[in-house]
Structure 1
């Protein structure tokens, strides 16, 4: 009887497979491998600043074990692009640069980036670089910033520093420039003149204008920067903290394109910071929940925390934002931010809770805070498998606006990612007329209850050794508020 039973099982498997493949999909995802959106992607990464360490009640130090934990977690992510911001005034004494002051705080970050060939944006937050009340720049502090850059690049050999960001978000009322473009321009030009005196201009270029935007009303900062500073700017950038509704609806793409279109064709634009804030009326309930969670957290800043970093949905939302950024022609994205322990707000022990973790959880903030939060895994997959130098291909998604997708390749290896921001599983037909058959494909599924984890921070593929032939329609299910990553990059 055993052969008959086997035939019945095989027949049943064939029937159910045909039924599932022939079911009407919610959408079609089509990869156009012949149309290149971006021929040389810089890469994705994260903001990693020197740690605050003085938390009012207590002065802390990051142990060698914690540095190793940070390195191991980042090694899984494989960041290609990291932004590091300081105040030059923190390495000055009596108005004079002291190159070695606080060096132990920045050195481990730059040493990691140097050893892993990570491109670094170094920059100054803007403290005392300008005086918005008198509308003047501080040549003293700008000169010191250039000299400190020279110290790090030439004397310490940190060739990983490719770009310099002069003054964070200069278009904001919260910035030292107080929204004054001319003041920022003058500071950037003077700083660049000092960079040239030190013969650093062949090693480092400016990144700017580094503006924070929510709509398309700040494009003039890009057009003016092109007119006044294109000779010094190697990479243009903006920051976005969109509302969930803005991103999930797809409106985010049109906003991004307005800034991309203002950049010269021969220069890249990147997302210098990206995170979510619930600023639109449709997200009012989320804003209230965010505030309530922050108030309930002993060390969370109520004014500046994103408490949904503890939820899987933040990972799928960040993937949605990244996918739209990539498809809009941007060349990289820096997530805000790596670690809660980097920045305080309001009071020294009230932290900006935005990170993948708090590395000082065991020491002070609560052991559970040191654990990896879900969005680390989605951002890591989208960073690890978009290596520097990747080509980005055109992808069309028809049938459901809750789905977005990207396709990238490098040296014969590929990655396809599809995100579903709806509250239900969605079925797609994945197709391509010209993508070659992909072998040894790994399948990763990011969603609550779907991740396959190992140890402290490693995501394992849900399936391995798959063969992907998109010339034949391929069915796939994307879980609710989830991300599917298919790749044959062999790491």
Structure 2
């Protein structure tokens, strides 16, 4: 009887082990989604209202303010910055009697911008650089100089852009400048191009030719189309997605990287449809074998509740996203970027790093901040609220997604979980592995995860009320030295983000 019982126990054990193996969510290191992953990062602008004594608000961005940003970025380890500016904010200082542009590359404004570029150069961060649009054609307040440039395809503007790039790259040595946006979101009715594909495409052709003539093409290439994929401008010949398709058809020989924007819908992300939608966008240029990234990624501000909060905040304008104050935004942004990585995108820049960077229309009104950031560097000065300078919850998850997916990683395939709201992505870098998981549902789950690592893993957990941090407020692992040679069991709380990694810094 004892012998029969022993056989029964062994049989049950074997069946149980087999069942665990069948249910295990596998990570397929031999199946690559994308090679040479660039990495995730942020949009960071050089505080045009507060960067110098000449600025609208004076030099509120002191050395101490810059240092606060640097320390937080030191933890985040972003792999990409998107840095857009405007010629007439930095180096275009006037026109001569023949209406030829007068350039000055020694302005205080350029020195302020170089704080960002210097940090990027020192830390091997790739920069997507550019200008918001044709100078003096962005806003009604630009009237008076609006006739100085005809548009994005004006050779006069292209000439000064290339002079500026030559100074920054060859004279100052900022080889971190890798890609160039000629116009922000050129398919938009708010863009200086007003959605005119011909104007924009002619401009980038001129730019590519001028970069080649100057020998700058070995450092920096054109990024495009920079279109908002889920926005269809009735004045434009093409839909938002059509801009990507036509760029691939007409301009692939000059575009160095494909790049798009989305201020996406919560339901699209939480349902898992974000991957499908943007995967289809990526397929439009699949034949080109070039990378595609998000130059701006965030969630739509158009919801009724959000607009009510914006109206109630005496320092915000309608172009704000108040969910950045909620822990849930960190889950949703993690979900979006996990899906983007699985769709083949080589990185994403979150909009935005800091509330203090922009105002509505960039008119400098202190009561019209674009509230989108991970903090507000000028919380005390502008809002009489020093606590506004603290890191907001979503810094936690976004910093981990930047820090632990290094440039050069391979993003590899994983099994779908089969569980609503539970998604993951995995990156392999040399002999290290990182797995990011999100449970964007109201139900906790327990899974068997086939992550195999010869090195011990660390586990970070982001959920409401539970975010382990150090004395600086930076994430610390809840567990260390996790052995995972043959996979591991993992509890995934409801509405949470988890990151497992063998990487050390």
- TM over 0.5, shorter chain: yes
Q: Tell me the residue number matched to 2:102.
A: 96
Q: Is 1:356 aligned to residue 362 of structure 2? A: no
Q: Which consecutive unaligned segments of at least 5 residues does structure 1 have? A: 1-19, 280-286
Q: Distance in 2 between matches of 1:144 and 1:99?
A: 11
Q: Tell me the residue number matched to 2:98.
A: none
Q: How far apart are residue 215 of structure 1 and its match?
A: 6.8
Q: How far apart are residue 28 of structure 1 and its match?
A: 5.6
Q: Tell me the residue number matched to 1:64.
A: 63
Assess, with a 3 A threshold, how the Cα gap between structure 1 residues 339 and 202 changes in structure 2: closer, same or farther: same
Mapped contact 1:408–1:416 kept (Cα < 8 A): yes
Q: Distance in 1 between matches of 2:416 and 2:374?
A: 30
Q: Tell me the residue number matched to 1:14.
A: none
Alignment of 1:406-421 (within 5 A): 406-421=425-440
Q: Tell me the residue number matched to 2:359.
A: 344
Q: Distance in 2 between matches of 1:402 and 1:215?
A: 26
Q: What's the TM-score, normalizing by structure 1?
A: 0.88
Q: Distance in 1 between matches of 2:71 and 2:17?
A: 40
* 1:267-288 superposed Cα distances (whole Å, 9 cap, x missing partner): 1001111000155xxxxxxx22
Q: Is 1:190 aligned to residue 195 of structure 2? A: no
Q: Structure 1 residue aligned with 2:491, among 477, 481, 489?
A: 477
Mapped contact 2:448–2:489 kept (Cα < 8 A): yes
Alignment of 1:45-444 (within 5 A): 45-54=41-50, 58-90=57-89, 91-94=91-94, 95-101=101-107, 102-128=109-135, 137-214=153-230, 217-263=239-285, 264-277=287-300, 287-301=303-317, 303-345=318-360, 348-349=365-366, 350-365=368-383, 366-431=385-450, 436-444=452-460
Q: Distance in 1 between matches of 2:351 and 2:312?
A: 22
Give the SS at the match of 1:38: strand
Q: Tell me the residue number matched to 1:12.
A: none
Q: Tell me the residue number matched to 2:469.
A: 453
Q: How far apart are residue 89 of structure 1 and its match?
A: 2.4
Q: Distance in 1 between matches of 2:129 and 2:57?
A: 28
Deviates more, 1:194-203 or 1:459-468: 194-203
Mapped contact 1:316–1:421 kept (Cα < 8 A): yes
Assess, with a 3 A threshold, how the Cα gap between structure 1 residues 21 and 203 changes in structure 2: closer, same or farther: same
Q: Distance in 1 between matches of 2:319 and 2:65?
A: 25
Q: What's the TM-score, normalizing by structure 2?
A: 0.86
Deviates more, 1:148-157 or 1:225-234: 225-234
* 1:48-77 superposed Cα distances (whole Å, 9 cap, x missing partner): 111033599843421111111111100101
Q: Distance in 2 between matches of 1:225 and 1:215?
A: 16
Mapped contact 2:151–2:192 kept (Cα < 8 A): no
Q: Distance in 2 between matches of 1:21 and 1:377?
A: 36
